[in-house]
Structure 1
Amino acid sequence: MSPRFDALRAIGWPFEGMPPPGPWQDAMQAHPGARPARVIEQHRSGYIVAEGLAGGFAVESLPDWQRPRLPPGERPAVGDWLLVEGDAAGDARAAALLPRRTAIKRGAAGEHYGQQVIAANIDIVFVVTGLDGDFNPRRIERYLLLVQSGGARPVVVLTKADRDGVDDTAARAELTDAIGAGVPVVAVNAKDRGSVAALEQWLPPGSTAVLVGSSGAGKSTLTNTLLGIEKMKTGAVRESDARGRHTTTHRALIPLPSGACLIDTPGMRELKPTGEERLADGGFEDIEALAGDCRFRDCRHDREPGCAVRAAIDAGALDAQRFANYLKLRDELAGAADQLATRQAQKADERVQGKALNKRLDDKYGRH
């Protein structure tokens, strides 16, 4: 491996050297004067990228990324790989966005459809929740829906396991019942280096992890403990509802001593689906399987005879609150999928109209 790719590997470059034949190699060949760099910070005014551990530098954005109507999901996010031209000393500019291997996305806030990329090209997502008022299995199911649909592997991290009266054994059992045994659940004291070491099995050299969860869950404290230094600002939570303030104000990619990279994110209180997810990715495979055993194919799981889902609830084999969350997410996902289809149809129509307009202009003015 060349020194250049050694440096890139230290910040998560997914190949031993040049990428194999495919979209990444095609993009690099299309921009022979450009070189890879990774987005390590995303701000309103632009991006900071890095080519190794030595630090980051600002890059000038592509004009297309500044278009007001460009969907946010098509702009670079923290963790993305760009092709960059120019000198890092001050005139660096982006040439292209390399294809994403994985991404965490959510539906944008508001009434109009949109997508927001939380982080890109990640291997592990630590879904962080406190063993206090923040503990909510229904919200964790929602996180899993977004995480696993994006191609990354989730690990649920229960923080504040050191508090008096906290029973992390019961919490782990409740979560395992809700989300299945396929998703690891780990309880830690986020301030204790020995306790947090349990997470290092998912942080091998060259990997990228991201921390997601509510404000006050302990994400920044975990980051500081993994780093071994107080880099991220932390804050207290309100005793009344265990809510915390946003101590992390922007997403940032940070190299860890283990050789992995970690992305800390601001707390997220709204987790809307994009319409691209599958309910099974939220840990609902068992409910989907039960629904397939109902007598009627269009069973609403209400009062229909022969409903396997209602039979499981009545027998205590399926938690009624978990099923209610399944129905809520199913309806949200269906609504988002309809909005996504409408948006895609509108974009396709705009492209057709644009081509027709260009043809009329060419015919009228003889443009070539």
Structure 2
Amino acid sequence: MPPVSDLSALPCAVAPVSEVPEGCSAARVARVDRALLTVLTADGERRVPWSGSGDGGPAVGDWVALRGERAVSVLPRRTAFVRTAAGRTSAPQVVAANVDLVLVVDSLVGEARLRRVERYLAVAWASGATPVVVLTKADLCPDVPAAVAAVAEDAIGVDVLAVSAVTGEGVAQVAARIGPGCTAVMVGPSGVGKSSLTNALAGRSVAGTAGIRADGRGRHTTTARELHQLPGGGLLIDTPGMRELALPGADGLDAAYADVTGWATECRFRDCAHRTEPGCAVAAAIERGDLDPARLTAWRKLQAEAHRQELRSDARARAAETARLRSLHRQLRAR
């Protein structure tokens, strides 16, 4: 990774520096290997051990305070792309911190995976950063405009870009959004071309790639999150493909499903479930063809998932849900 001449060359240097404890210096985390961090400092790249405390520890993109040869604390985060850790745990996992742009990457090979894109957008909106959908492998798609339009119809308020790392189509458009002072994170499932796009944006090979399978899908190559410096002065965090992206909560759902929530505000009843209630604006929008019923179904599914996650992680919420169910059972018995 090219050395950094001074902290002003690193995005977001001013605010974190004001939070650095006395006797420490600031560094940006470029990679995390268990308790060993690769960081960018005013003197270039260094490898330092993490000796701080706290849940989760530092993530790629974090600013940390260095005391001597050790990272001792994580400085306050501006934004964070967070998912629920895979498995049965409900612990939040920070994928990337202090990002300005979330590139939600999917492939133009095969049918559009709209529900998957919507899920990523919900988490992206919740991060506090600006999401952009990037559709890769445009050189393998017979009708790029139609494919982009299908995704753009559901990605409300989000720019949708088509790119090809092979021909270079659209790469400049993506690069223009990651200018000086900008940190972007690239997220998406395995095999959609994130590593190839990373290399195209960097102008050199910084991420491993693999060939395309017989079904047109790519192969998993990235094994660790890593921050790369781009020629234009921006920073890009490449991430391994995610087999599952569990929502950490309901934040971001309203933005990702702005059409559903917009119609919901016009329902006659505030607690409308959008099923058979009279005066339901959501049902009326579906009947008129103004709202895709699949969007409502997907919104309900993610709302339910977010609620379950809240119950798993919040003891107070679990107690309130138990009390609600007991009250409902008592009412049913009384009837």
TM-score (norm: length of structure 2):
0.87
Q: How far apart are the structure 2 equivalents of 1:217 and 1:53?
A: 36
Which of these residues, 328, 331, 349, is aligned with residue 301 of structure 2? 328
Report Cα offsets for 1:31-64 as digits up to 9, x if no partner: 321100111001124211111583x222121252
CA distance, structure 1, for counterparts of residue 91 and residue 111 of structure 2: 27
Distance in 1 (alpha carbons) for counterparts of 2:299 and 2:318: 28
Q: Which deviations, in whole Å up to 9, do the C-alpha atoms of 1:280-309 show, x marking residues without a partner?
A: 122x12211212222333322222332221
Alignment of 1:19-168 (within 5 A): 19=15, 25=18, 27-28=19-20, 31-52=21-42, 54=44, 56-64=45-53, 70=55, 72=56, 75-86=57-68, 92-133=69-110, 135-163=112-140, 165=142, 167-168=143-144
Match of 1:199 among 174, 184, 201: 174
> 1:195: Cα distance to partner?
3.2
SS at the partner of 1:162?
helix
Residues 324-346 of structure 1: per-residue CA shift (max 9 Å, x gap): 11110111112222333228999
Counterpart check, 1:342 vs 2:315: yes
In 2 relative to 1, CA 13–309 (structure 1 residues): closer, same or farther, beyond 3 Å? closer
Choose from 230, 234, 256 the match for 1:260: 234
1:310 paired to 2:269: no
SS in 2 for 1:122: coil
Partner of 1:298: 271
- Structure 1 304/345 Cα, relative in aligned 2: closer, same or farther at 3 Å? closer
CA distance in 2, matches of 1:5, 1:345: 48
**Secondary structure, counterpart of 2:139 in structure 1:** coil
1:132, CA displacement in angstroms?
A: 1.1
- 8 Å CA contact retained: 2:109, 2:141: no
Structure number with bigger Rg? 1
Determine whether 1:280 maps to 2:254: yes
Note the alpha carbon deviations across 1:113-168, whole angstroms, 9 max, x for none: 11110100111111111101373111111111111111101111111111252x22
Tell me by how many angstroms 1:103 deviates. 0.5
Counterpart residue number, 2:147: 171
The answer to whether structure 1 residue 235 and structure 2 residue 224 are counterparts is no
Is 2:8 the counterpart of 1:9?
yes
Verify the 8 A CA contact 1:274 1:340 in the aligned structure 2.
no
CA RMSD, 1 decimal: 2.4
What residue ranges of structure 1 are gaps of 5+ in the alignment?
87-91, 347-368
Runs of 4+ with deviation above 6 angstroms: 343-346
CA distance 1:53–1:238, change in 2 (3 Å): farther
Give 1:323 deviation, angstroms. 1.4
Aligned equivalent of 1:350: none
Comparing 327-336 and 303-312, the one that deviates more: 303-312
Question: 1:247-306 deviations in whole A, cap 9, x for unaligned?
Answer: 000001011111111110000121111125142122x12211212222333322222332
Structure 1 residues 87-119: Cα deviation after superposition (integer angstroms, max 9, x where no partner): xxxxx1012210001110001112231111010
Identity %: 44
Q: 1:222 aligns with which of 175, 184, 197?
A: 197
Instruction: With the length of structure 1 as denominator, give the TM-score of the two structures.
Output: 0.80
Match of 1:212 among 175, 187, 198: 187
CA–CA distance in structure 2, aligned partners of residues 53 and 124 of structure 1: 26
The reply on whether 1:249 has 2:231 as its aligned counterpart is no
* 8 Å CA contact retained: 1:301, 1:307: yes
Q: Which amino acid aligns with 2:24?
A: A
Q: How many residues end up aligned between the 2 structures? A: 317
